[in-house]
Amino acid sequence: MKKLLFIFIMFTSFTIYGLQKSGIKEYDELDLTKGEGIKYRNKDPNLSDYYMKEYDSNITVLFYDQTDIPKAFFKKYDSENSKKVVYSKALFYKENGDLDRILEYKNDKMNGMAFIYDNGVLSETAEYKDDVLNGKRQFFINGKITNLIEYKNNKKIGKTIYYDENGAVSVIENYEDDKFISNENVNYRLQKTGIPEYDNIDFSKGEIIAYYNEKGEFVSKDSDEAIQYRKSFGKRGDFFLVVDYYVNTNNIQGIVETRKIYFFDILREAKMSFAFYENGNICYDQTLKEDGVTSEVKKYDYFGNLESIITYKKRKLINVKYVEQR
């Protein structure tokens, strides 16, 4: 009776949620109501977040314990040349049935292609050798490529390419052994903010006042950790106008009107701020309301499409409004 109830619940869950097709025929066509044995990861079933079933052809499937939706598919098989070398392909799902990852393994290490998904849509591909990035790594938004990076032994080499919303190359960065060498602004264009005093800034001017690492800490101009530098464009009333630049390209990373010139919390000290992606599109814009404690932040995707509007009051999250993409 318990077995029949289990099969009914599992079948119902799959029908409600639906399972996104992976393109791997032997996984997509597997009858998940069958399989042998249910094994919990922990000795105490109440502590486990999934259970496991084994199928023919060396296929193992893990299921989310609460929803009975598949969490992962695994298949192991021996190489034709050597039984000591074991290859496998793993497929991972999120609890809503959307694809999460497809990975290839050799001797329990990532070897071959990795496919990463966001809300069921391909967002990244990468080539691995023995768990280390080796080859091309690409990022996508809604099926459009945003950037391509070349790796050797987990280090950037050759060209890192950034694309615009039309698929045209906007910026090329050249690397050697993970060190930045040079850049080319092919079709780079800084998106207009709609604020005349910002859009009319002569970015070649201003005074460089600091260099920062990825943690936002001060570093010297010649430091290998320097990824960003800041220029001051003077003070306007109680606020300083500062502009941040990417060290590698000298392109604009951010424009901020702030009470503090070096370290600041945009939700408290910034009257208005804009951040930009490498291709020049706005990443987010923030405005401090007249009450001095409420900030509205608009977030955009890599191609400049509005994704969400977030409201903070006294640095606490008040509301998030998501914008439906067309």
| CATH class for the domain made up of 2-185 | alpha beta
Q: What angle do CA 256, 257, 263 make, to 5 degrees?
A: 70
Q: Which amino acid is it at 233?
A: F
3-state secondary structure 20-32: CCCCCHHHHCCCC
Choose among 182, 193, 142: nearest CA to 160.
182
| CATH class for the domain made up of 196-322 | alpha beta
* 222-258 CB burial, b ≥16 within 10 A, e <16: eeeebbbbbbbbeeeeebbbbbbbbbbbebbbbbbbb
The span from the CA of 49 to the CA of 68, in Å, is 10
> Reduced to 3 states, what is the DSSP secondary structure of residue 314?
coil
Q: What angle do CA 140, 142, 152 make, to 5 degrees?
A: 10
The span from the CA of 69 to the CA of 84, in Å, is 33
pLDDT tens over the chain, length 326 residues: 333 223 222 333 333 357 899 999 999 999 988 887 666 655 565 556 778 888 887 898 988 877 788 999 998 876 665 556 777 889 999 989 999 999 999 888 999 999 999 989 999 999 999 999 999 999 999 899 999 999 999 999 999 999 988 899 999 999 999 988 888 888 889 999 999 999 999 999 999 999 999 998 999 999 989 999 999 999 989 999 999 999 988 999 999 999 999 988 888 899 999 999 988 999 999 999 999 999 999 999 999 899 999 999 999 999 999 997 65
Kindly report the number of other CB atoms within 10 A of residue 12's CB atom.
11
300 Cβ contact list (under 8 Å, min separation 6): 281, 282, 283, 284, 306, 307
The span from the CA of 92 to the CA of 72, in Å, is 4
Ranges in the chain annotated CATH 3.90.930: 2-185, 196-322
